[in-house]
Structure 1
């Protein structure tokens, strides 16, 4: 950063000095400012001691508990924390120490019934009445406030129900007008005032300012007293002209200082903008060029654990948690966000970390998540990926979470094709063949444009590209997506066809719209879902689960057929991922696969047309360490 010129430093110092001066004038003015009489509106009651208006009068201008406020309708509202309702002030009689309250929503009766047994401190109520409520199916002549006769009923609109009106009347009065109505119940000792307009009469006994008023002085709190005692002081409106002139001079001085400071601030801002415009432009261009250069040259980098803490801002934003670690959102720069997977050092022997870095360090494909870097700092290990904002495919095909919308069949087909191309790249596009062994919707992430990217290579295996079978000592993967041969060699040997099986289950999940549960003890009375899909296709029915969309069933049918080809129990009967990509891309009608649940011998025919026949034999190889 450059050095700010001396002239600009001086301007900043002068501005700060002026601001301090303005602040002093404001504080000085507040301490000298008298407690003025204010109103919320032209026709509203005048507010002065013992009352004060909240946020307009200083605290010392009112007696404790005597607080009113002005609402958006410019009504004067009594702020009484002991009652849960808001009542507006109609008038205040300071000489007789009483005020009349009303309800601007025209439902005073109901509100007074609600608070009749509550404390109104520092106010009290003398005039209470017993009220009777009536339920009427038709309108009744009401008290209009012109005749002070308490026998007229008063409507309570907030208590009414459809087709019925509720009226209140003095229980001691005559109720001839309500003979056609049904009596509801009596309410005793309501602080209601039936005479004239509907109002509640509140009084106060302390503070008593009658002596000050008689002497022509103003009443206020003693400034040095903590017992809330009052004193009589001279009214500044009657003070001599000397005092008034002094107050006026202070105000003129403060106004001048404020205006001068404001103009000076504008000049400083303008000067700084002129000075820094070219410099900011150059820095912005350099920052953009640097980012583009770093992005083009970005390869998996090694970070220290301190770097990881800085990237994640001390692990502030947690995205999720899995079996082997926790994922946090991080930032390499203001433009580049990443997802940082911090591996749990208490689980595993580091094999998942070696698999991830070894498998992804040299992968560059649009449908495989990019490994930005890694951390191997002692026992602390972490992986840094590109950040994909739309989460996983599971979020959009699961019907359990309603916050994610259905993407549509065209988009789901594009996603299926992208995943297939990513797996094909792993099997054939790298120097060594990479077997994923954990393909499922949770491990398919979606970028801003919903382009799918394979992730989580913790279970991956590398083998020679020109050989097919991999030796394994233990089963690996996620229940519901693991190929049969991974569990038992009676179904065949483990190979890249195990990934094909998992992809087939993923396709069936996409048309099913809910989590795969497979054949478990909890659903032994239900059809195994893939078998149910095959039966629907065999009967010529639509295999999809409807998402509220009507229309052509061509895409879900295609996904179902390809999925059933991929989950053939014998690995030899499954297509390669290259053939799967051709089936998803092609427009021809696909041949229905053989029943994968018949547990018969090999049927090595899958095609995008009746004449196409592929026959693959698999060779046994040893996994590369």
Structure 2
């Protein structure tokens, strides 16, 4: 593939800008990042405004603290700190006195712990404050006839029996240890004795004392940190060596920040700002240039598609409009008539004042070949039951179709009425339904047989049938249509799609047969059943599975001899017309394509006598598989 000339100039500029905007500022700003993130305080659970030497994974990086001072943050709880393989809850921190209040996590809720070990600290980093006293807890004591002071009951090590236990202040307040030789477990835990008037004599009071925790002083090179802060730096460490580092605006230092740090930092900021501003301007220029180039390439590609089609098939029979003319025609898309999966429809007016319907298609990722084929398909048609295409627009990704205006809208709004007389869209009479059904059949017959190129619609449904002022039906929306030569009866296809509920079995599984005009016959049959029954093919609110798929319900009504849901007061003649349309619809939805009638035969059945029609066999495939609730077909069909 040959690269366009403008890309040879654009790519080097682009890589230069990326290097200028990302690599250079990031190298300059890395030091500033550590300085700013370590300078701010952070919160960890219930503790607020924490700083050096503490850090926490996910909340504050390790280089902002010391390796041994890691906190584990817990939402709405006190953070946990591990000291000598024991977990402590950090209840309070004092930066002024360099102290912290901690409590053993295993004794937080109960003194009856399974992990009975003495409390140990790293005395190189921590030291007890004077108000701390050791409390010795004795478990499983049997004092004999002596009364046991401060006793309580708990289960030790998960045993089923209750053991008498006690606790005394250490040293043992004059109690002779000889009386406690039967106590088989004991351990010490520090407590804050200050403020405790008497020894706690109940388990609840003991828990209150333990939850107060105890204070320790902690060491983290305070003199170095104090001098660093006074020099406008912030304290941290080297994660590799765990040695002290003073982070400054112009980079890290071993002790304190240099006096010229502020000016150096300001100079770096100015360089970064200037580089970013210049790079942003260049980047905008490159983006604008790329957008312009892309539009030119896309436009040239579309023009090539159109030129290739004209060379092969001759000029299109309808007028091509500019998108500016489309905008003017619709008064800037003022009056929206409806919308669908492929675009929005707006009302517009030609220069002579004639109303038109303008369908603006959504932008697609592919080329314009499919759009051109769609325009060609409709422009070749001329039938009273096929909507007339008056023009089209094809500018890059902007595509639009101009149709004749249908004042009565789509058939859909007249089909699914439960309370027809109470709506703004009254239900159609049975004779009108027959005329509409026959008109649609004539339109499909024309598409299948009357054109030089056979057209398969693939999306026949009430939404795509428009009604003029006289309720004459016209087939519209050829977005999914396919062209094939008249001699071809079976069509090869890889990307057929449709609307769930109207898709014939062979479209989603070739085991039922090849895709052909009989696929449109199936969709037509489903639509006829819906029109007569006044309900959608698939009823998700039905309480029984057999009522969910409408044809199943129809067969059930025929077997019972019921009125097929027609409103009260219909004449016998109207009932026969409705029954005729139902039978025709059932013949059209036979599972095997070969069992379905052609559209010519459908017209004969609609115009003939009902006595000549037999009830068709119930299709083998009725209820649609749930896996096809949303469908984008990629099966391969063989001739």
TM-score by length of structure 1 reads: 0.46
TM-score by length of structure 2 reads: 0.45
